Structure 1
């Protein structure tokens, strides 16, 4: 059983990494439900997802920079607000009731889906 769980986790990692490389950080939307399906507790699945996506994003940045797909200066305008939001989100993760955390996550996923659908 333990070997099966490790195999599923590795397959999930490949899938999330693929989505992250394809969409930027879109793999994070899939990582949380996958981690929960593998038995990881809610808050821990969100935090683990962030760590996984951070590492994958660093690798993806290197790939995009190597392909000259963008210039780092393009991201500089977004970084201060993104860092501030990341700090606030990380501080709120342990303070928000699980119900609110689930509603927020579901709302972001739903909003993203609707936005993509109507583009």
Structure 2
């Protein structure tokens, strides 16, 4: 019955995520904990598997559309591994209740970042309103800033079991000057590398992963995402982004309430 439940919930999550046009890795941990009965630490590890498999499945289609900058993705991904390993180590030191409270805070931060990105994308500031650029008008490549951002992203990936796309995409866009489609595609490479590094560190400890449940959830979520994708064509992209922000805030509140109990 647990596997059947994972299939049903995974499919529903996939449909919602596909319709709203946003990554679902950030929702995996609270769903695994509160709906599928996993411990917070196990859920973080299982979420890494979900993130990695989902990114691997999505990469070929993005690559065929030439939306993946492999060099940048590999470099940023390798830079993120130190943070990913450190985050995985820290995860084991924090008790489950504190981990879920911290996760609810992360959800609020992600919602704020997504709202800012949506406003910036669909309601841009007037020309010349800000931003450091070169003479050609492209953002300067500040590799030290890339290294810091990649390390922080890896830390979040390892600690919470999330993909970190909410941090990687803006960084690739603002610092490396990639357009939103190439930034989204390239972020998948970063997610695979960071998740793999975090999982490798966890495997050296006492991590317990329910592989049947995790793979069932992943497969159903991917199928649901394919089914929900066409629904996104019926609404404005900005509206869908704001709906996802509202969903994140609702999950953040429910997670905090459950954790405090």
TM-score scaled by length of structure 2: 0.39
Aligned residue in 1 for 2:38 = 40
Matches of 2:10 and 2:87, distance apart in 1 = 24
Pairing of 1:68-107 with structure 2 (within 5 A): 68-107=66-105
8 Å contact from structure 1 (residues 17, 56) kept in 2: no
Q: Which moved more, 1:35-44 or 1:90-99?
A: 90-99
C-alpha deviation, 1:16, in angstroms: 4.8
The runs of at least 4 consecutive aligned structure 1 residues that moved more than 6 Å come to none
8 Å contact from structure 2 (residues 39, 96) kept in 1: no
- Ranges in structure 1 where 5+ consecutive residues have no aligned partner: none
Matches of 1:87 and 1:16, distance apart in 2 = 28
Does residue 11 of the first structure (1) align with residue 23 of the second (2)? no
Matches of 1:16 and 1:58, distance apart in 2 = 18
Aligned residue in 2 for 1:63 = 61
SS at match of 2:68: coil
Matches of 2:66 and 2:5, distance apart in 1 = 34
SS at match of 2:37: coil
Query: How has the CA–CA distance of structure 1 residues 72 and 15 changed in structure 2, closer, same or farther, with 3 Å as cutoff?
Result: farther
Q: Which moved more, 1:76-85 or 1:11-20?
A: 11-20
C-alpha deviation, 1:15, in angstroms: 4.6
Question: Relative contact order (C-alpha < 8 Å, sep 6+): which is higher?
Answer: 2
Matches of 1:56 and 1:44, distance apart in 2 = 18
8 Å contact from structure 1 (residues 64, 70) kept in 2: yes
Query: How has the CA–CA distance of structure 1 residues 17 and 50 changed in structure 2, closer, same or farther, with 3 Å as cutoff?
Result: farther
Question: Is the radius of gyration larger for structure 1 or structure 2?
Answer: 2
C-alpha deviation, 1:29, in angstroms: 1.0
Count of residue pairs brought into register by the alignment: 113
C-alpha deviation, 1:87, in angstroms: 0.6
C-alpha deviation, 1:84, in angstroms: 1.3
Query: How has the CA–CA distance of structure 1 residues 102 and 50 changed in structure 2, closer, same or farther, with 3 Å as cutoff?
Result: same
C-alpha deviation, 1:98, in angstroms: 2.1
SS at match of 1:78: helix
